[in-house]
Amino acid sequence: MAALSLFLDVPLTRGADRLLDAYRQDPSPDKVYLDHWGCQTDSGEAWVCPAVRQTLRQIADDPTLDHEYLPVLGFPRFTQAATELALGRASCAVTENRAGGVHTVGGRGAVRIGAEFLRRWYDRNSPSPVVVYIAFPQWDSLQCVFQDAGFTEIRPYHCWDPVKLAVATEGFLAVLESAPDRSIVVLHAPEETGLSPTQWEEVARTMRRKRLFPFFDVPAQGLASGDLDRDAWALRHFVTHGFELFCAQSFSKTFGLHDERVGNLIVVARDNETLARIRSQLQKQVMATWATPANVGARVVATVLSNRALWGKWKQSLRMLVEKIMLIREKLKEKLRILGTPGSWEHLTAQAGTRSFMGLFPSQVAFLAKHKHIYLHQSGQFSVCSLNSHNLDYVAQSVSEAVSAAAGGAPGLSQEEME
């Protein structure tokens, strides 16, 4: 046997969780992590929708359930209910039977399966590679998905203007205008971007003219406005206007059920026959990736969505979460104002949803990590639910110092530290 490994040239690669790693390794008792993906309770624990616990117990107690494999495309009752939740039961695509779901391993699995399909079948006769556009900061997690699916031209775009502290509508439209015809545009968390219906209409018009393909990615329908239909406005607008599209849908955040990986890839096609052909190819891909998805999470979601009492409970949970999120935003803004922090902090309450831009430059974010043990994404995006009554004062005080330091130029970071 050769003494050397067959894998001598495999390089060590660092995980995507560098921020979490840095937080974990920080020995400071003051440390705060502001980049959770899910919602947190006031004591800093992961929030779980009460209807989820109840339904999980019902499922575990049901002796009639066997544990047979699900079909390759997943639990049919789940994909149907999930697709109707996103598109609306009265959607033309639903009534015309040309929208369908593929039950996937989380939202990430939906993006992956969708990306692989598009790489194989979308715009195949184009002489140049299809370009994919992904917004910052989702670029960090989704770029590798399209890359591994085989796309070679992936470009980032901005939906947030860090100077104007507002949604970057003009910049976004300019990107769409300059994109090669038939590019794929990933529209992440449309309900949280802050684009108004009128602005979405303009986006749709531009995308139609340029024949751009919309790949929606909806991680938390209902957690922006508290209203499931309102949060789905942009997606439904595109469907109503005749687009063929994909939509990756996740139930991790809205059910607090992150660990069971409940996702759905919604396909809206021109007609039922096209949908059947697309789904047959997706089925083939799934067979070669994970064969069939896991069951219990989708069973919980399907049960809640189809049971009037549980559905009411769940919707109430969403509204309560959204109210809590808005209250945290208000409190943070107010505290920053009282502390005399330079600048306007209106953008904190103008944004919606679980993740928002704090309105900090990378140097200020670095200052917070280095001097205050507060960890958030370098774009300044943070999870609003990571703030609670125990850490809000400290975070506000620290943000105020970071901004004042940068404004005064005094104890800020050197150029070297900022990198």
Residues 102-131 that bind a second copy (CB under 8 A): 104-109, 112, 116, 121-124
Instruction: Specify the residue, 82 or 352, whose C-beta has the smaller distance to a second copy.
Output: 82
Of residues 368-387, those binding a second copy (CB under 8 A)? none
144 is an interface residue for a second copy by CB under 8 A? yes
Contact 416, 390 (CB under 8 A): no
> Dihedral sign, CA of 141, 157, 387, 411?
positive
Query: Exactly one of 272, 280, 306, 344 binds a second copy (CB under 8 A); which one?
Result: 280
Q: Which two tokens stand for residue 312?
A: 């009411």
Instruction: Specify the residue, 298 or 413, whose C-beta has the smaller distance to a second copy.
Output: 298
Of residues 250-269, those binding a second copy (CB under 8 A)? 252, 256-261, 269
Pairing relation of β-strands 153-157 and 262-268?
Answer: unpaired
277 is an interface residue for a second copy by CB under 8 A? yes
Q: How far apart are CA 341 and CA 336, in angstroms?
A: 5
19 is an interface residue for a second copy by CB under 8 A? no
361 is an interface residue for a second copy by CB under 8 A? no
Q: Which stretch binds a second copy (CB under 8 A): 14-22, 82-90, 327-335, 360-368?
A: 14-22
Query: Exactly one of 24, 155, 205, 241 binds a second copy (CB under 8 A); which one?
Result: 241
188 is an interface residue for a second copy by CB under 8 A? no
Instruction: Specify the residue, 13 or 414, whose C-beta has the smaller distance to a second copy.
Output: 13
Taking each helix axis from N to C terminus, what angle separates 308-338 and 50-61, rounded to the nearest 10 degrees? 150
Instruction: Specify the residue, 144 or 174, whose C-beta has the smaller distance to a second copy.
Output: 144
Residue 263, C-beta contacts closer than 8 angstroms, at least 6 positions apart: 103, 104, 105, 106, 107, 108, 109, 110, 248, 249, 250, 251
Of residues 41-60, those binding a second copy (CB under 8 A)? 45-46, 48, 52-53, 56-57, 59-60
Nearest distance, CB of residue 379 and a second copy, angstroms: 19
Instruction: Specify the residue, 89 or 241, whose C-beta has the smaller distance to a second copy.
Output: 241
Instruction: Specify the residue, 145 or 165, whose C-beta has the smaller distance to a second copy.
Output: 145
Q: Which stretch binds a second copy (CB under 8 A): 38-46, 165-173, 216-224, 383-391?
A: 38-46
Query: Exactly one of 27, 29, 43, 68 binds a second copy (CB under 8 A); which one?
Result: 68
Residue 177, C-beta contacts closer than 8 angstroms, at least 6 positions apart: 206, 210
Nearest distance, CB of residue 326 and a second copy, angstroms: 24
Q: How far apart are the first and last CA of the chain?
A: 46
Nearest distance, CB of residue 81 and a second copy, angstroms: 18
Nearest distance, CB of residue 339 and a second copy, angstroms: 33
